[in-house]
Amino acid sequence: MTLKELRKSKGLSQNEASFLLSIPLRTYKRLENDSSYVNTYKYKNVYTQISSFVASKKSRKIYNFVIVGAGYVGFSLAVLLAEKHHVTVVDTNEEKVSKINTRKPLFYDKEISYYLQNKTLYLKATTVNLDVYKNCDYVIISTPTNYDEESKNYDMSSVLSTIRDVRKANSKCTIVIKSTCYIGFTSSLKDNNIVFSPEFLREGKALYDNLHPSRIIIGGDQNKKEVKEFANILESFAVSPTKVLFMSSSEAEAVKLFSNSYLAMRVAYFNEMDSLLNSYGLNSYKVVNGVSLDPRIGDYYNNPSFGYGGYCLPKDTKALISQMSVISNNELLSSISKSNDSRKQFIINDIVSKLEPDPQNKVVGVFSLLSKTGTDNTRYSSVIDIVGGLEKIGTQVIIFDNEKMTLEDFKNKSDLIITNRYDSSLDDVAYKVYTRDLFKRD
């Protein structure tokens, strides 16, 4: 069977097939017309990926989902599920509710924008209303659980209030917590119809990661029909086969926290390496590349930066450190946040050294406040801390805003341009760009 015949047997258009494979349409068309291209190492699994897609909707049960919280996790999951099931999103933000109902994206995400424009979605949104819980099969909670510096733990109030609201209206539906929790939170609720299922999503790639999950983890009793069904629902959207792991809710909570703290540790490690190499005048690119080619280490999450940021890594690392404080030998975890703070101070000092002898009379242009490209989120961005450190010593800082200035004006006004991730639009002034982005790909 040719790739074209296989695609048609699954009821897919070329557009849908290219999207499922996450490749440009022109590339997919070439795959259909050139069998030798299909057999290259890069595309040898396209048959498997297309074959695993179930296009038929016959004999499929349609579930009613309520998703509380329209952030990265909640909204991306809502868009995913709404292709096959009825989904109602509940959020206190009326602007978000309006955007969802008019099929407008809430944040930058290429795949979400594609789905909103091109898919038939059984999706609606509303503000808080207990009636929406009455006839639903599943309630998915994805409200914010910010880290509280005073209590050294997550603020779980939004999750707890949502559970109370749901149980007032519906005592039987299964509640799935997607919000990040401390280890032991779900089991402390003593409700057998509440499970914890963590998400591992990248900002700007949330729907893509739902379609291509590294694993699906369910913290609940797999012998319960509703728990097993929920796992099957998530698995049915995976473009290619993925592992489904069942465990206790506390173990699932631990997977989430340890995964994010490991990633934070990895970022901190390569940043420390870069700081040391830079101090000795050595070529960081060559050393990091040489280290990363060891298959035990791997060529990923290794690009130095101004420090890790974003919503998850800082708060989840702090929360795990706090929870592990009962152990006397948790020095490794405790050092991660300290290392990140040291890295930001190193970057500030390094930038100031480029402005000598008179940093107070120089203008530093900040190309972007984002810690990573492909997002529109500045929460806990390391760049903001860098800006604060420069302003503290009296350096004038301007931040590029294409609504208030042209890129050319920004370049001309800046004595030094700093950017966490390099952009090709800066090529003509590369001589005055400061970045620790070695690979220009993350």
Q: Active-site positions?
A: 312
CB 124, CB 132: distance < 8 Å: no
Whether a cis peptide bond, with omega within 30° of 0, leads into 359 is no
Select from 99, 76, 97, 79 the least CA-distant residue to 87: 79
CA distance 350 to 340: 15
CB 155, CB 54: distance < 8 Å: no
CA distance 278 to 271: 10
CB 365, CB 411: distance < 8 Å: yes
CB 51, CB 241: distance < 8 Å: no
Both tokens assigned to 282? 């050595």
Instruction: Please state, in angstroms and as integers, the Cα–Cα distance from residue 412 to each residue in 96, 261, 299, 362, 406, following that order.
Output: 38, 40, 36, 12, 10
Select from 271, 292, 261, 265 the least CA-distant residue to 437: 271
The residue assigned the tokens 């790639």 is 205
